[in-house]
Amino acid sequence: MNFTPFPGIKTDRLLLRKTEESDVEEMLFLRSDKIVNKYIERAEEDKTKTNADALKFIRMITGDIENNKSITWAISMKGDPKMIGSICLWNFSEDKKVAEVGYSLYPDFFRKGIMSESLIQIINYGFGELKLEKIEAYTHKENESSKRLLEKNDFHLIFGKVDKHNAANLVYVIENECVR
């Protein structure tokens, strides 16, 4: 697994690009806004409350990319570099065959197909480039929008699998059909 050079991804409407330190205000919003984070539980020490916290987080994910531990893309509209969301592959299994996907989006862009468009690209990248066997997604049992997004994109619920960090989460998975 090697994320260098950074694999930017373009779609008809979107640019999935590397998160930069200049995205600090947008990252602060994505990690602290009550609507965006309604279903996310973070330990106190992991909460993003200030620009300094957001910058620290950006530097951490940049380091994780450089060390091939995880990869996070900033989502922006083509022609407008402003970050409107993020999507990542992280929490890789030891054998690098399974990863978790995580995502967030500005509320102004909800229900416009942006996260679905981004998720499709990240699934394709994970299965095509990284040769993952599975991608998992953890989402709160009451987060109907996230559950619909996952189900629309061929994820299915893993019955009985429990998130050891949050009992309120459901675990979904999509499997790479090419490795069966």
Residue 51 is assigned to a structural domain of this protein = yes
pLDDT of 179 reads 57
135 assigned to some structural domain: yes
Asked if residues 86 and 75 have their Cβ atoms less than 8 Å apart, the reply is yes
pLDDT classification of 47: cutoffs 50, 70, 90: confident
Q: What is the mean pLDDT of residues 9-29?
A: 96
Q: Output the pTM of the full model.
A: 0.93
Domain region containing 66 = 9-179
What mean pLDDT, rounded, does the chain reach? 93
More confident residue, 173 or 1: 173
Residue 170 in any domain: the answer is: yes
Predicted confidence (pLDDT) per residue in 117-167, tens digit: 999 999 999 999 999 999 999 999 999 999 999 999 999 999 888 888 888
**Of 21 and 167, the one with more pLDDT:** 21
> Is position 1 within any domain?
no
Domain containing residue 65: CATH number: 3.40.630.30
Give the whole-angstrom CA distance, residue 57 versus residue 27. 8
